[in-house]
């Protein structure tokens, strides 16, 4: 929200924080000490909306970082469940299926990333020869 700090007042910043942590707009308004109608009006204003979206992205980014931290443990847990002879067969199959699906998605993403990089490289080369 730092880019919007000059445009938003303290109450609007408090409203954004409340929106991120409340169940609904009414609760957020109460938490921020604002009228519900006022909060709905602010949500329609471009500056407030942009700051709110920026705050949501930052919050989501933190959640993704936490998932990244936990992914190694999650993979280990799936592996342990899959190879544990005491685990019910249906659960072992589900763990194996999950591992295969996630691996396939990771490979697809890596392939897609490589293709995009190659396209960007080609476009960059085409643009640089066009400028000459």
pLDDT for position 4: 45
Instruction: Tell me how far apart the alpha carbons of residues 19 and 32 are, in angstroms, rounded to a whole number.
Output: 9
pLDDT for position 72: 92
Rg, the chain, Cα only: 23
pLDDT for position 6: 57
Do the beta carbons of residue 48 and residue 8 sit within 8 Å?
yes
pLDDT for position 7: 80
pLDDT for position 35: 96
H or E stretch covering 1: none
21 CB neighbour count, 10 Å cutoff = 11
| Cα angle 120, 122, 125; round to 5 | 105
Look at residue 5 and tell me whether its pLDDT is greater than 50.
Answer: no
For 79-113, write each residue's pLDDT tens digit: 999 999 999 999 999 999 999 999 999 999 999 99
Q: pTM here? A: 0.59
pLDDT for position 131: 78
For 23-37, write each residue's pLDDT tens digit: 999 999 999 999 999
For 50-79, write each residue's pLDDT tens digit: 999 999 999 999 999 998 899 999 999 999
């Amino acid at each position: 929200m730092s880019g919007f700090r000059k445009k938003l007042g303290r109450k609007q910043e408090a409203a954004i924080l409340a929106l991120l942590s409340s169940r609904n707009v009414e609760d957020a308004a109460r938490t921020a000490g604002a009228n519900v109608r006022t909060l709905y009006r602010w949500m329609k204003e471009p500056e407030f909306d942009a700051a709110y979206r920026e705050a949501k992205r930052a919050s989501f980014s933190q959640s993704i970082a936490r998932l990244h931290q936990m992914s190694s443990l999650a993979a280990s847990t799936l592996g342990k469940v899959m190879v544990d002879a005491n685990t019910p067969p249906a659960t072992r199959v589900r763990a194996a299926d999950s591992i295969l699906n996630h691996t396939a998605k990771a490979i697809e993403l890596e392939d897609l990333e490589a293709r995009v990089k190659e396209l960007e490289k080609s476009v960059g080369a085409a643009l640089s020869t066009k400028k000459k």
